Amino acid sequence: MDKFAFDIAHFLAGSLVLVSLMLLYQDRLSALLNVFAFQAVVLALSVSWQAYVQGAPHLYLTAAIALIVKAIVIPVALHRMIRRLGIHREVETALNVGTTMLAGLALVALSIVVVLRVTADAGTLAREDLAFALSVVLLGLLMMVTRRNAVSQVVGFMSLENGLILAATGAKGMPFVVEISVAFSVLVAFIVIGIFLFRIRERFDTVDLQALDDLRERRG
């Protein structure tokens, strides 16, 4: 592959990792959702570049799904949801940004080291994409671990799934059926989580998941 195509792919995949770290940095919910939508746009660009480079037209469809579902539908729905829950101005103060960022950087370093060692005989682009995809997945997990608000945890889960899509497009020959089913299962998960959010709020008057832990302690 020529150097220019590789540079563009490197640029887009690297930006995806950067946006994942930006997600960790945001402590306001509405800003978090905007960054999440931006991540989906970057993902769609990255996937369509892969489609162009690999000459794989079905990847364009994956990019379109990412763009429509994750950059438009889910962020708009989440925006309306936090507005209805009345938490769109809420600031999460439970986490320390500096510590989380350090942990995030350590995870990026870890995934780069691991993937580069393990995939010594794979193609250049696939190796790099896998390294970045693993970073995005781990950063999404970190986000789910460090946040207490249920909506932020949903965003963490969705950004984790963005990493999976990046990995799938980097590795050639991922069946399209699998991608479709992943996309729809995420959509279903989103709907289920949305219903749960309202149920949690009805019970506890908050979407702070700490409340669930308190309940368990009281019973036990």
Binding site for other proteins (CB under 8 A): 3-4, 7-8, 10-11, 14-15, 17-18, 21, 25, 97-98, 101, 105, 108-109, 112, 116, 124, 127-128, 131
Cβ nearer to other proteins, comparing 97 with 192: 97
Q: CB 96 → other proteins: shortest distance, Å? A: 10
Radius of gyration of the chain (CA): 18
Rounded Cα gap, residues 138 and 127, in angstroms: 17
How far CA 212 is from CA of 60, 157, 194, 203, in Å, comes to: 42, 19, 17, 10
To the nearest whole angstrom, how small is the minimum distance from the Cβ of residue 14 to other proteins?
A: 4
Question: Hey, is 28 helix, strand or coil?
Answer: strand
- State the nearest-atom distance from the C-beta of 8 to other proteins, in Å: 6
Which amino acid makes up residue 20? S
- Which is nearer to other proteins, 81 or 162 (by Cβ)? 162
Compare residues 110 and 191 and give the one whose CB is closer to other proteins: 110
Pick the closer one to other proteins by CB: 55 or 98. 98
Smallest separation, CB 184 to other proteins (Å): 31
Report helix, strand or coil for 55. Answer: coil
Give the Cα separation of 133 and 127 in Å (integer): 10
CB of 17 to other proteins, least distance (A): 7
